[in-house]
Structures are given as C-alpha cells and as structure tokens.
Amino acid sequence: MIVLDQENKLITLHTRSTTYQMKADQHNVLIHTYYGPRADGDFSYLVRYADRACAPNPDEAGLDRTYSLDTLPQEYSSCGVGDFRLPSMELELPSGSSSASLRCTGFEVREGKYALEGLPSFRGTEEDAQTLVVFLEDAAAQVGVELYYGVFERYDLITRSVRVVNRGGERVRLRQCASLCLDFLSADLDLITFDGCHMMERCPSRTPLRPGTQGVGSVRGTSSHQHNPFVVLCGREANEDYGVCYGAMLLYSGSFQALAECSQYDNTRLVMGINPYQFCWTLGPGEAFTAPEAAMVCSPRGLGQMSRQFHRAIRERLIQDPLQGQRRPVLINNWEATYFKFDADKLVEIAETAAPLGIEMFVMDDGWFGGRNDDNEGLGDWWLNTEKLPGGLEALVPRLKKLGMRFGIWIEPEMVNENSRLYREHPDWALKIPERAPARCRNQLVLDFSRPEVCRYVYGQIKAVLSSAEVSYVKWDMNRSLTDVCSAVLPPERQGEVYHRYVLGVYEMLEWLRRDFPHILIEGCAGGGGRFDGGMLYYTPQIWCSDNTDAIDRLRIQYGTSFCYPVSAMGAHVSVVPNEENQRITPMETRGAVAMSGTFGYEMDLSKASQEDKEVIRRQTAFFKEHYDLIQHGDYYRLTDPFRNGPYTAWEQVSPDGREALATLVAGCTRAAPPFLALRLKGLDPDAMYQVNGGEERWSGSALMEAGYPLPMLLGDYRTLQLYLKAD
C-alpha cells in the first residue's frame, strides 16, 4: 500500500510487515526517513541537523551551515556537489565535469507493477502490486531521473529501478547509475555476502560494518562464481529466527557492484547496481537509460523469514515456468557418463536403464553438434553431427519417447571456437581488442552479443535444431568470463556500452527462445553457478547450482544459495563416486537426499550402476514425486549451519499450513561413542500431533520444535536420515 501526503511531500510504502518512507524536504532533496518493521507516522523527526566541519552546504541552504548533503540520509545519492559518500549516479556533462545534483519535482502512484523494456523484473497485477514513480531533476545538466518502486504487500517485497532521461540539447554521458541506494541512520549492522569460486559458490561471509567502504562485485561480464548479486544487512544479534534483516538482490546477469559504507558519523549507505568498471553510456538529446531492477525484503523476524519471503516472491512473481502447476520431470544428463564420446546407441542404452527407475527425461549434453569431439573445436556451429546421431534428432527423440522419456539438449550460444566455420566466416563477431591477441579460456572466445546480427544468426541455427524434434528442455551454458571487451562496430566513445549491451543481447535471445518455444523448460548454467542471479531466473526457471556435485560440498553450496533463492531454482544431480572433483565417497542415499533439495536428477552412466544402487534410485524417484510439492514449494527452514562443522547438517520443508513437513539430515564423519542427539524442528503447528515416517507414535508440534525428535545413531560416514511428518 502506498500512502501519499501531498501537503508534507511525504511518501510511505506499507507491506504486510514493513514500512518504507521518504520525504522531499524544504529544499526538495529526497531524504530517506525509515525502513523497518511496520509503523505509522512521519519519521523525518529522526533526521538531525548540525554544523559539521568540512560538510559543504548547497546553495539553497544559504547561511544555514547545519544543512549538508554529506550528512543527510538520501533516497538516491548525488555526486560532486557536497556528498562525499557513495554516489548513486555520476554524469559526465558537455563541459567535461562530472556531477549529479537531484531535486524532487513530483511523484505519482499507479496500480499494478511497472515493467522494464528489455530487462527482467518481478511481475505484478493491479490486484497485488502498486507502482510509485518519483520524479527528480538535475536542472543544470537538464537530466531527469525517474525512481520506480514496486510494492508487493503480500511478500514484504519492494522493487526499485531508475530511468535517466537527457532533456537537454547536448550529449550527456552516464558513468554510473545504481539501481538501489539505501541509507540507515545506524552503523551497528553486519554485512553478509555470498562468495566463493568455481566449484564452491555462494558461501556466506558475515562481517561487522567498519568505518569506510566494503562490499562485493564482479567485473567479469557475469554475476560470477566469486560473488553473488545478493547481500544482507542485519543487526549484530540477528539469527535465523530473531532480529531485523534487510536483503537486497539485483536482477542482473552482468558485472555488478554492491557496496556498503559506514560514514564518519556512524551512518550506513548501501548502493547496488551495474559495476561502473568500463561502463559509460552516451545519452543523446531525448534518449533514456534504464537501470536493472533491484528487490528488497525487510524481515523483522530473522534471516529465515527473509529467505522465505524471497522464495515465495521469486517462485510466484519472477520465475516464468512453462510447467507451472505441473511437476518438473526427473532427468538424467549424459555429461559425466560419456563426456564427448557418445553416439545415439550409447545415449539410448543409458536411457533404457534409466526409464524403469522412474527417470523421465534424457538430456544430451555437449558434443552433439558440428565437429565437436573435444572442447577445442565446434562451438558456434549449431547443426547436428550426423556421424554421432544418424538421422539427427528426428531419429533419436522417437527412440527415447518409446521408453516414456522426454528429451532435452545442451547449448552454449554465447561462445565460439576459432576452429569453427562460424569463426572462419565471421572473425569480427568475437569480442577482441584490435591491438591485441585475444585471451582464451577453455580455448574459446566470446561472441559479441551486443550486436543484433550476431544474436539473430546464432539463434537461427539453434531454432532450426529445436524445431526438428520434440524438445522439452534446454540447458543454456556459458563457460567463461568476458575479456577483450571491444566491439568491432561501436565507435571508440561508445565502447563503454559493450558490457551492458552484451547482457541485453543475452536477455533478448532468451526472450526469443521463450516466445518461439513456450513449452520448453530452460535451465541456466555458467560453468555451474557462475550466473546464478535473479536476472537469469526471469528467463530460466532453474539454474545449475554448481559444477561440484559432491553431496557434502553441496550441503554448503545449497545452504548459501538458500538465503535468497528457492529450492525449485537449484539445479542438483546425483553423480558417481568417488566424486570426480574431490574423490569423496558418499552413500547413494545421501547423494539423492541432497540432490532432491534441488530440482533433482542424475548424471551418471546407469548402465554401470549396481543392482543395489538401482533399487535406491527407484525409491528416490518415487519419494521425490510423492513429496514434490512439499519439497519444491514448501517453506524452507535452515536447521543447522554446515559451516560450523557440527555433527550433522539439517534442513526442513514445511507446507504452508504447517500440517506436513520433510526434515533431511546428513551426518558428518562417524566418531566412536557418539552422543544421543535430538533434532529441533521449525514451522509446525504447536497444537497438532504429528506422525513421523508413518510410525504409530505421535509427537506434538510444540514438543518437536522445543525438545526435538530423538535421532538414531547413524553409523558410517555421511549417512542420511529423512523424516516425513504429517499431522493427524
């Protein structure tokens, strides 16, 4: 709900549990007054004024030395005109100077949720969302800035975006344009970021704010394995169930920046948006630029509630699932089974073993196209290799369909090998700096997706393949970061636009894919979890969580991912042991329990599996299908922290009414004389009586949450236990 007080120029955004407020002050500077648990009133009384040394005063303040932009909490911070903290926007003016000084000129409320042309965003209707637009202006630069806010009351979600318009007659260059600026009057906060590397993504890192600037970002052209475009600010005492927590995610799949600054007067500012590194966007007269969307959730009741609010909003208002209301199929992928060495008969052999075990879709991974027999050739030549696949997909897919299996396929549209027909015919289509030999990664280059003709050509090839047979699933991969970022068609003064135009090109091709094949489920991938962000989730309902499929490492990866992203978005498979990355051996039961807290599938040659393992797989697929809605759409509770190396890691999914739950536990290494342990559950109805795994004994919800469920001794390393609870 949006409440406007026109007389006092006060704007209040209410969600079910929170309040967000801003106000245009006496000089029409848009100040931020409050964000926190729901409350009523004008909170501008919290903004204090004092004569601070070396704090410049704007011209409008006259002789009032207590009024300074450097000390005010602002809704969208300025640059070069007296505020020395983190800027939200930087303009390069025709004079060559760089600054931005914004004043509020008005605001309006619209029913429904705004949309962003060419960019992903949360979707809302007139029944469940409202839009606020605040109009700012830099009069000297003749630049207008429109701040967009989407308010989803049910989800405690507020989205933000920014549109910058050149209203003057001369060219203006935009060197920074953040999507979100959030000022706090306090600095008594912790910053949580989600960091790591390839094979170990999104590990939480929690540190108290200190004087100065700290944060994360990416200059890789992707959101990256190293840092995720989601951060949390929370009270020092906040935990899973207690304390005020603020989560902020950027719906963007390119280079980003999220910085928090603790100022000299113990205020905090969070700024989030496109990374200014090599970013410079030219605005001619009348032209506009739109920043990606950011989304915020404030939870008055701890990190767990914050996560569950993000999960619901992402599932219901961001992801566009072609199988909405249906169960996604359990799949098997041939990559770790065959790598590049396969033919149609080998694929069918794997499928023949998989189908009787309850697996419903076969995904053909890398190696099916052009002259692709290793990772040094063929990328860019998207036509069927008929030596491996005689008769093409038209021959293969019906063979799989006879087994009751759907068909999926792997693609990597953004990349090219120099040993390919595409590159030989169009070498200028790859990103390259004219004066330098390009850097290679996986012996491949990056196609210039900032160029529409490149996107159209590649998409045309892929479209022909997908149209040749009944394809149900596409895995869209991307296996390197961007280097040598220079486009052959843009003039020198516009090369700072290439990074962002590249992302827009990726989004546009994904839109084409969704438009032409609305029935296809798309899974995103970037060397595993290197582009796991809200921007990709808008187009790809699930993303491969990590190339690391080891169940024990996945406990940490999926734990960190869960702080923002729902289980239904996490691509997770069971693979063979010893695991190829770390040589760890874990039981098949454990690998399955961990993978089914994701989208669930297998990545192995099941024709080589033991009969015992096949029986386990049969039980796992049946269990997953039976409890699919609970696992994929239930409220998610983190019961332990796997980074603390306790005796076990546990998590829980609970139905919205609290009448049904599934708790999963994975033990660590066995020790002699283990203690007796009890697992305390969450989210249950305290007054209900629960049956556990169909047993005759009953426990009250309050007993299970306060005292816990008595755990059996799990002998042997990395054993698992799943507890299905149902209320009478």
Taken in order 67, 73, 75, 81, the sign of the CA dihedral is: positive
Query: Tokens for 458?
Result: 């590649």
Which one of the listed residues 138, 533, 547, 635 is annotated catalytic?
A: 547
Answer whether 217's CB lies under 8 Å from 254's CB.
no
| Maximum Cα interatomic distance, the chain, rounded to a whole number of Å | 85
Beta bridge pairs of residue 90: 176
Query: Tokens for 466?
Result: 């997908």
- How far apart are the C-alpha atoms of 234 and 170, rounded to whole Å? 44
Query: Tokens for 69?
Result: 């932009």
- How far apart are the C-alpha atoms of 677 and 416, rounded to whole Å? 54
Q: How far is CA 160 from CA 285, 631, 701, in A?
A: 25, 31, 39
Parallel, antiparallel or unpaired: strands 130-138 and 143-152: antiparallel
DSSP3 helix / strand / coil % (the chain, rounded to 5): 20, 30, 45
Beta bridge pairs of residue 384: 369
- How far apart are the C-alpha atoms of 609 and 617, rounded to whole Å? 10
Taken in order 90, 92, 93, 98, the sign of the CA dihedral is: positive
Is position 40 annotated as part of the catalytic site? no
CA 187 to chain CA centroid, nearest Å = 27
The identity of residue 361, as a single letter, is: M
As separate numbers, helices (DSSP H) first and strands (DSSP E) second, the chain gives 13, 40
Taken in order 108, 110, 116, 117, the sign of the CA dihedral is: negative
**Residue appearing with tokens 């992801």:** 319
Which one of the listed residues 70, 183, 365, 477 is annotated catalytic?
A: 477
Is position 156 annotated as part of the catalytic site? no
Which of the 8 DSSP states describes residue 74? B
Active-site residue list: 477, 547
